[in-house]
Chains A and B, each alone.
Chain A
Amino acid sequence: MYQYDQHDQKLVDQRSQEFRQQVSRRLSGLISEDEFKPLRLMNGLYLQLHAYMLRVAIPYGVLSSAQMRKLAYIADRYDRGYGHFTTRQNIQFNWPALVDTPDILDELASIQMHAIQTSGNCIRNITTDPFAGVAADEEVDPRPLAELLRQWSTLHPEFRYLPRKFKFAITGSANDRAAIKVHDIGLRLKSGADGKVLVDIWLGGGQGRTPKIAQLFRENVSITELLPYLEATMRVYNRYGRRDNKYKARIKILLAEVGLAELQAEVEEVFSKIDKSRFEPVEAELSRLDSRFIKPLYHEIPEDENPEPDEPANLAVSLTGTSDLNAPVAHEYNRWLERNVKQHKQHGYAIVVVSLKRIEGIPGDASADEMREFASIADDYSHSELRVTHRQNVVLPHVKQTDLASVWQRLSDANLATSNIDLPSDIIACPGMDYCALATARSIPVAQEIAAHIRAKEKVTSVGDLSVNISGCINACAHHHVANIGILGLDRGGVENYQITLGGRSDENARIGERMGRGLLASEIAPAVDRIIDVYLDKRQLTETFSDTYQRIGKAAFKDSIYGDDHAIQTA
């Protein structure tokens, strides 16, 4: 993974020093809250419902075990012993004191991390495929470009006061695991005919109040033209994006208002005038970055050998002394292999996804002890590397097939072996009104209730991949618009009220879900989700996905299941 050099280190050190001065000016009363607020936000420090919240960037979701350990240390020393992984591949600490935040930034700087541009109207953390560099289906490893974009966008002087925040996501695989079509700019890296990397730029996607799927803005951009082209795009947005209404300030609205052709023409004109020589060291830099993302030293396994993970039966023997495949432990291990282990590009290796969606737990939360256990397992079995996913889970990216049983055992002992990746109980949930000052309803307790309600069903029936996302306000941090089953919590006369959308998806065929009807009370949501899943199980053909079934049969049957006579709903 990427290692800072002196220049990267100097920047985070200076930023931390600068913030220490700003905090000190605030505490001594030299600057008011109004003046301080934009300064703290530029360092990821919010004031939430109960306390300050610090959002730390995990660039493109990659963490070393040393970094994970430091996050655990920060959680213990400066917070309440836990952190929350977000849909933007960041981690949030919910209880830091203002007086401690300069020390926290110093701690982060010491392990090449920071909170720069995790808030404010600027280019935010660049996100990507959590399986970058290891996915079996990958065409181009997006990490070097993601790091290049991180450097380009960090402290970019033109783009610190944009009309609104700006989010980039990158994928180098046809199977989009980074939701690039619901970002302001999504980049799809492809391998061109001559082996050179080409980039498709998707623009104007987003969620929130006005959900939009991105449009293909420019195809087959070469790597040398990419940065000037993105800079031209950002310039046009900076100058013409709406500033009169923050709900209309994202680039998706500019695109909708002026139209694709006109916006393309304007960007082309600005692009044609940009001095490309200003970006010239970029190719050298990109190849330097390429060399920094070297493959771990995998144990080379001959192609004719097919190492398999330990058979569940063998594991059952070693754990229980019986070879009974139906032994609970064998069954659990088998389900985990099926759900949480993904195909690796290196022969003999696997990708392990660790679910942060324990049924009683808080989606995306990990305790300091768990973070340390992730670090330790990564040291023992995954070349000291970890990833965090936009679905709020943690990845061990380089696990030998033959180590899978040991990894499962370690995770299982730490209560981290929940085998529900991409199942309905693998719910994305924002912090909601339990933490967030913007929220209009709670998300976490509703997610917990749904998970508890459907867990038994997803274990015995083969529901398969089905996404359930719940946001506690219209800002849609939990991506409810693009969930198969999306839930949006609103405030209706002081009572939490939840709207359901169905049929959304966030992959390469991204689609915005359709709203069903009037909202439900919190207590009605879990049974409704259960009935929606029943309709799907009843109507699906063969291996049809939820969204395919939904497209084929339409909303009526699903809507009936939510509001039908048997389930008369009292509205608030």
Chain B
Amino acid sequence: MQYRLLSSGGEVRLVDDEWVNAAITIALQTELETGDNYALEKLVSSEQVLLIEFQSVADGRGFSSAAELRENDGYKGLLYACGRLNPDQLTLAFQCGFDGMVVDEQGWVSYGEAAWQQALKPVVDSGYAQTRWNAIDSIWMLRGAAVR
């Protein structure tokens, strides 16, 4: 099976099962009691690609998980979102620290290439008050810069 790897900068690259299987997919915890279990000490220093799987388009846990992995745990390697996501969520993924999204054939076809291409060039190009790993300044930073 082949997948599209969508990265910031608008790149779309074909990858195969082998690539996906070589990556580590992080399972999200659902119960607070079980605590975090990313086996972080191993992962953070790992050379491998990490994937966070979204189980439905309405399940936004992965956005916070990615942000925490970057911000709190200091993960610097490649991080991709995969699973059930739609084109409108690509911008959010970048803002939360993902390097991009892995889209399977079904997702690619059902939303259509045009929608995915458009998602790589979103109409709303700012994170508004938020700034994250997509390196766009927040409105607060822009205002601060204007004052200085």
Check if B1 is an interface residue, CB within 8 A of chain A: no
Is A7 among interface residues, defined by CB-CB distance under 8 A? yes
Bound complex: CA A121 to CA B89 (Å): 14
Q: In the complex, are the beta carbons of B61 and A281 less than 8 A apart? A: no
CB distance from A229 to the nearest CB of B (A): 15
Which B98-148 residues have a C-beta within 8 angstroms of A?
Answer: 111-112, 114-115, 122-132, 138-144, 147
- Distance to closest chain B CB from A3 (angstroms): 13
Query: A residues touching B (Cβ–Cβ < 8 Å)?
Result: 5, 7-8, 10-11, 14-15, 17-18, 21, 30-31, 35, 38-39, 121, 151-152, 154-162, 234-236, 238-240, 243, 254, 258, 262-263, 266, 270, 273-275, 278, 281-282, 284-285, 288
**B127 touching A18 by the CB < 8 A rule?**
no
A-side contacts of B61, CB under 8 Å: 238-239, 243
Q: Is B41 an interface residue (CB 8 A)?
A: no
Question: B18-32 CB contact bits vs A (8 Å, 1 = yes)?
Answer: 000000000011111
Nearest-CB distance from A251 to chain B (Å)?
12
Most-contacted residue by chain A among B63, B126, B144, B147 (CB, 10 A):
B63
Contacts of A35 in B (CB 8 A): 86, 111
A203 to chain B, nearest CB (A): 15
Instruction: Give Cα A281 to B111, complex, Å.
Output: 39
Chain B hits for A236, CB < 8 A = 32
* CB pair A158 B63 closer than 8 Å: yes
| Number of A-B pairs, beta carbon distance below 8 Å | 126
Q: Is B71 a contact of A158 with CB atoms below 8 Å? A: no
List residues of chain B with CB within 8 A of the CB of A266.
32
A151 to B142, CA, bound (A): 14
User: A156-B129, A161-B63, A239-B64 given. 4 additional CB < 8 A pairs?
Assistant: A151-B139, A157-B96, A161-B89, A281-B144
Quote the shortest CB–CB distance from A529 to chain B (angstroms).
Answer: 40
CB pair A14–B125 under 8 Å, yes or no, is yes
On chain A, the residues within 8 Å of B147 by CB distance are: 284
Task: Say yes or no: is B59 at the interface (Cβ < 8 Å to chain A).
Answer: yes
Give which listed residue, A18, A155, A235, contacts B68 with CB less than 8 A.
Answer: A235
B interface residues with partner A (beta carbon < 8 Å): 28-33, 57-61, 63-65, 67-68, 71-72, 86, 88-89, 91-92, 95-96, 111-112, 114-115, 122-132, 138-144, 147
Give, as a whole number of angstroms, the nearest-CB distance from A67 to chain B.
21
A151–B131 CB distance below 8 A: no
Query: In the complex, what distance in Å separates the CA atom of A160 from the CA atom of B57?
Result: 11
Q: Are B64 and A235 in contact (CB under 8 A)?
A: yes
Given that A30-B112, A35-B86, A285-B143 are contacting pairs, would A239 and B29 also be in contact in the complex, using a CB cutoff of 8 Å?
yes
**Which residues of chain A come closer than 8 Å to B123, judged between CB atoms?**
14, 17-18, 21
A11: contacting residue among B71, B112, B122, B126, CB under 8 A? B126
Q: Contact at A238–B64, with CB atoms within 8 Å?
A: yes
Q: Which residue of B lies closest to A17 (CB)?
A: B123
Contacts A15-B124, A238-B64, A284-B147 known; A243 to B59 CB distance under 8 Å? yes
Task: Tell whether, in the assembled complex, residue A273 and residue B128 are in contact, meaning their CB atoms are under 8 Å apart.
Answer: no
The answer to whether A151 and B143 touch (CB under 8 A), given A17-B123, A38-B57, is no
Q: Is the CB of A7 within 8 A of B127?
A: no
Chain A nearest Cβ from B29, distance in angstroms = 7
Set of chain A residues within 8 Å of B30, measured between Cβ atoms: 240, 243
Q: How far apart sit A5 and B147, CA to CA, in the bound complex (Å)?
A: 13
Give the chain A neighbours of B112 by CB distance below 8 A: 30
* A15: min CB distance to chain B, Å: 6
Contact A239 B65 (CB under 8 A): yes
Bound-state CA distance A235–B96 (Å) is 12
Instruction: Determine whether the beta carbon of A158 is less than 8 Å from that of B59.
Output: no
Q: Are B144 and A284 in contact (CB under 8 A)?
A: yes
B129→A154 contact, CB < 8 A: yes
Residue of A nearest to B73 (CB): A273
Q: Contacting B140 at CB < 8 Å: which of A14, A39, A156, A281?
A: A281
